[in-house]
Chain A
Amino acid sequence: MKLVDKFTLWYLSATLIILPLNAYISYQSIRKEIDKATVERLMHVNERVAGQVKAGEPVSDHTQGCKIVVAESTADVPAGHVEVAEKSIKDIPELRDNDRKVIVSSYYNINNRLYKVTSADYVTRPEQILAGLRTSIMWKVVILLAFVILTARLVSRYVLAPFYSTLKKVQRFNLKTKQKLELPRTRTKEFNELNCFLEKMTDKAVKDYSSLKEFAENASHELQTPLAIIRSKLELLSESDIRGEQAHLIGDMQNAVEKLTRINRSLVLLSRLENNEYEATEKVPFSQYTRDALSAFCDLMALKSLRVKSHIEDEVCLHLHPSLADILLNNLLSNAIRHNQPEGAIEVTLNHEYLMVKNTGHPPTGPTAEMFQRFRKGSQCNNSIGIGLSIVKQICDMNNFEIQYHYASGLHIIVVNFPSEAAASKLLQNDERYLHEKIRQ
């Protein structure tokens, strides 16, 4: 629900509660005022009639349209006393009219005799007041509704404009571009506070991010030289006059250095990928790359007695950096070989929409989605550093490829979907089904 709708709703419900209350109060006060005015007028009439009586003039039945009754009274009330009574004519069935009548009786002492002067008049009935109020309330509600609904959106667009612009900028904000978030000043205090806070927060995030990156990069670069020294010294040592058990120790060290080197190199590559250092500048002939990679690995496949099937369509060109194309294919294929079983099979399919690598192998031990995380290994395979798939994933993310990994009926299936113009929207819409169809094919 939009902010403006919330405000509008709240305002309208408040109005709906207040309007009847207000109407009730109006009704009461109007009625009271009418009664008061009538009583005052009748008192005047009585006064005048009393004057006539005092002067000995004849008193007519009606004075100023009010019915007058003058009678001597024996009631024990002081002169100047006024009695007010109301009478609803409804009570008199013959009249069948429900008018309301106000009767005012005043007592006067004229010539030492107590006179009771009574006058009466009809006043507006409550129902009539209510009817008038009802119409006015209805119009009020209609006008309010129309006005609020029509103007709320316009006004909110104007008032919330700084908020929306901030929102847009924050949404577009990307740590990796290392660009500061700059928000305009506004006249609204809350928005200014929000903008100030956001600017401070993002500035800090950008600073932290770049110092972290710098550290990771420097650390891995600085590690290269010491690694080169260790490696070269071990190689020199292995050629000196050594005994068997020393050779074994050196061999173990070389293994560890090798592993360290590869981890470091992969981390450097990953950070470089994150830095977008491998922007694709032109299309690469991916079909050719795939064939080359397959032939580069055919020795390994033959050594492991793997059956290889490949369906590679011609002229598949991708917007991808050539080095990344190599790394992507090498990692996928070497993974498919390494995690295969002897006498197993590998199937590589490439067309304009996707690249699919299927291979036999042991079922995965963990959830398949986690396979793309760094240092996550499927099997307790000591020979792997567990970073290959993570690199593949990063390459795919950078180039808007979509990668999926499944394990079904003894086959590990990795599908890399390419973002072709026509397929892009289709992929977004029915992602899952699309993939399942593809896997079944």
Chain B
Amino acid sequence: MKVLLIEDNLELASSISEFLAREGYICEVSYNIKDAQDKLISFQYDCVLLDIMLPDGNGLQILSFMRLEKIQSSILILSAKNSLDDKIIGLEEGADDYLTKPFHLPELHARLRAIYRRKKLNGSNIIAFNEISLNIDTLEATVNGQLLDVTRKEFDLLLYFLVNKNRVLSRQSIAAHLWGDYTDNFANFDFVYQHVKNIRKKISAANGTDYIGTVYGLGYKFNTSKQ
């Protein structure tokens, strides 16, 4: 997947591009609107990550520019402003999703994958890894063809792990992914632990490999090298 990141903050841009590069994405960075417009005309991208506040204008300008130039890439807005108006305008102007800074990188990745899946017409609704398979439309999880009895949150969590394979997922990132930003729910970390425990139990019960491991002091990891 080829991604254009339009973000004026060098540090953040380097973190994001490094993270995406490890996922095997080709990530190019623009630090201002002008440069981004040049790149968008010259090359084709699957997805555009767009910051709203840029040194030479408002990121929303890019949206109208892309519509004018009939550029079909998916758009994910990254904004520090977290303003509802921006969100609504952005989504109305053709953006596919909206993520507020500060975000977790695995969360960014999950959103990116989700909008990419949605955009690709021939994309399948099934996300699978070895014996584990998730149907995003029906919210059904199967292991070795056997249907797992999982709750909605457990399904979301498993999907989060599958999208971010071999990455350390912090408890904070999981909690934010499952319960959103606004609930001041630190106790949710216990619930993260419970959910992870339940999923592992359910996968093992269906004779699946226990890919999910604890990373001491940090969180969890979906380890594909486990046999």
Contact = CB atoms under 8 A, between A and B. Distances in A.
Nearest to A337: B187
B100 to A, nearest CB: 8
Interface in B146-201: 151-154, 167-168, 170, 172-173, 179-191, 194-195
A265 B182 contact: yes
B19 interface: yes
B82 to A, nearest CB: 6
A232 B195 CA distance: 24
A235 B105 contact: yes
Contact of B104 (A221, A231, A334, A385): A231
A236 B182 contact: no
A330 B168 contact: no
B80 to A, nearest CB: 4
Given A300-B188, A338-B185, A268 B82 contact: yes
Interface in A252-289: 254-255, 257-259, 261-262, 265-266, 268-269, 272, 277-278
A250 interface: yes
Given A244-B216, A268-B82, A383-B186, A224 B153 contact: no
A255 B219 CA distance: 11
B101 A227 contact: yes
Given A248-B217, A250-B218, A259-B186, A277 B83 contact: yes
A326 B12 CA distance: 30
Contacts, number: 143
B218 A236 contact: no
Contacts of B185: 334, 338, 383
B170 A299 contact: no
Contacts of A257: 102, 172
A229 interface: yes
**Which of B100, B151, B216, B218 has the largest number of chain A CB atoms within 10 A?**
B218
A383 B189 CA distance: 9
Contact of A251 (B11, B82, B170, B188): B170
Given A228-B101, A330-B183, A235 B84 contact: no
B222 to A, nearest CB: 13
Given A229-B11, A232-B12, A384 B186 contact: yes
B81 interface: yes
A277 B82 CA distance: 12
A323 B11 CA distance: 32
Given A227-B101, A323-B84, A269 B182 contact: yes
Given A277-B84, A383-B187, A258 B172 contact: yes
B183 A331 contact: yes
Contacts of A384: 184, 186-187
B90 interface: no
A268 B82 CA distance: 9
Interface in B83-111: 83-85, 100-106
A255 B82 contact: no
B80 A265 contact: no
Interface residues of B, number: 50
B144 to A, nearest CB: 25
Contact of B151 (A229, A250, A299, A383): A299
Contact of B182 (A230, A258, A327): A327
A262 B191 contact: no
Nearest to B106: A235
Given A299-B151, A383-B187, A387-B184, A247 B15 contact: no
A388 interface: yes
A258 B188 CA distance: 12
Interface in A269-328: 269, 272, 277-278, 296, 299-300, 303, 323, 326-327
A303 B101 contact: no
A391 B104 CA distance: 24
Given A225-B80, A229-B12, A235-B170, A334 B216 contact: no
A135 B87 CA distance: 86
A373 to B, nearest CB: 15
Contacts of A266: 182, 184
A195 to B, nearest CB: 38
Given A244-B216, A251-B170, A299-B195, A388 B183 contact: yes
Lowest 6 CB-CB distances: which A-B pairs, in order? Answer: A383-B186, A228-B102, A232-B15, A224-B80, A248-B217, A227-B102
Interface of B: 9, 11-12, 15-16, 18-19, 22, 80-85, 100-106, 151-154, 167-168, 170, 172-173, 179-191, 194-195, 215-219
28 contacts: A225-B12, A225-B102, A228-B80, A228-B101, A229-B11, A229-B12, A231-B102, A235-B105, A235-B106, A235-B173, A236-B18, A236-B19, A244-B216, A250-B217, A254-B170, A258-B186, A265-B100, A265-B181, A265-B182, A299-B153, A299-B191, A300-B188, A330-B183, A331-B183, A331-B184, A382-B186, A384-B186, A385-B184
Given A257-B172, A265-B100, 9 more contacts: A224-B102, A227-B101, A229-B102, A235-B168, A257-B102, A330-B182, A331-B182, A334-B179, A338-B187
